[in-house]
Amino acid sequence: MSERLMLLDTASLYFRAFYGLPDTIRRTDGTPVNAIRGLMDMIARLTTDYQATHLVACWDDDWRPQWRVDLIPTYKSHRVAEVVANAPDVEVVPDALEAQLPMIRRVLALAGIAVVGAANHEADDVVGTYASDADFPVDVVTGDRDLFQLIDDDRQVRVIYTARGMRNLEILTDAVVVGKYRVLPQQYADYATLRGDASDGLPGVAGIGEKTAAALLGEYGTLDGLLAAAADPGSGLSASVRSKLGAATDYLKVAPTVVNVVRDLALPSLEQAGAQLQPVAADARTELERLAGEWNLGGSIARLLAALDLR
């Protein structure tokens, strides 16, 4: 099997599992297990269907880093359950999902699946760093459009997009991004900066929507190129667009830093992280099989073990 790295935007997947399966799936004490079962089934299917040899479950050690909030205070502000001084804010997470996260971490550890996060950074930044450093093809699994900026046909980095559900997975390449948004993946962060993203609390430039953002980047290439044209009285940029960009000057100075994923974190190597998939043996396998019964995890653990046995 040729080497292929799969990077999971883990929170995106366990939220999807939680909302995609009924929370009536519970262990005998009433603890819900739908997110656990759903995530394990996702991993079993994804690694098998896309022939991953290496896997990293990228983790949000800080889902809303203060340095991003300092630049754009509205960044993800609508998802804050509690502001915490000198520590990551508490995200709005349903109690029934919160109760499952420790067991998700335990099952991943027993299955030998690498979990990597980085202090003061989101999972997106971990994904960005591994995707940028990889020496072989990469599949990024996410329901978050922000990670489209990592797609690169030349480096064989693609996104497996989960927004329409596991039965309707979409593989995004350069051509697919261009077809959907009329921008190249390397322009996607600038495109998102211009049009904004309500789901992340990014206001964008008032009056510039998706079509206008794509058209401007098609003509000027980058946000920097567009701003240079706005500053040049002799450029062909319309007075209306100049006015809109001028009104958003403060936002445009900081937004690229917030929107662009970090690609140079000091992370453990794939070998150090234990990213290579392999069968689960001995005590770890016995414990997983025990948990499958105790936690009413149905066939999810069995399917995960069977997928890993193929390595």
Q: What pLDDT, on the 0 to 100 scale, is given for residue 239? A: 96
H-helix or E-strand spanning residue 284: helix 282-294
Q: What integer pLDDT is reported at residue 204 of this predicted model?
A: 97
Question: CA 236, CA 230: separation in Å to the nearest integer?
Answer: 9
- Average pLDDT (64-74) is 97
Percent of the chain with pLDDT over 70: 100
Q: Are 259 and 213 in contact (CB under 8 A)?
A: no
Does 89 score more than 80 pLDDT? yes
Question: What contacts 34, CB < 8 A, 6 or more positions away?
Answer: 17, 18, 21, 22, 23, 25, 100
132 has pLDDT over 80: yes
Q: Encoding tokens for residue 222?
A: 């980058």
The model's pTM is 0.96
Pairing between β-strand 54-58 and β-strand 114-116 as defined by DSSP bridges = parallel
The whole-number pLDDT of residue 206 equals: 97
Q: What is the DSSP string of 53-72?
A: SEEEEE--SSSS-HHHHHH-
State pLDDT tens for residues 270-288: 999 999 999 999 999 999 9
Query: In the prediction, which pLDDT does 168 show?
Result: 95
Q: Residue 167: which residues within 8 A CB-CB, separation 6 or more?
A: none
Average pLDDT, the chain: 96
Q: Give pLDDT, residue 298.
A: 84
Mind listing the pLDDT tens digit for each residue in 17-53? 999 999 899 999 999 999 999 999 999 999 999 999 9
pLDDT at 86 over 90: no
pLDDT above 80: residue 229: yes
pLDDT digits (tens, 9 = 90+) for 235-255: 999 999 999 999 999 999 999
Q: Which of 59-63, 79-83, 116-120, 192-196 has the lowest mean pLDDT?
A: 79-83
Mean pLDDT in residue range 58-77: 97
In angstroms, the first-to-last Cα distance of the chain is 9
Report pLDDT for 87: 86
Note the pLDDT of residue 294. 95
- Reference 242, options 250, 233, 251; nearest CA is 233
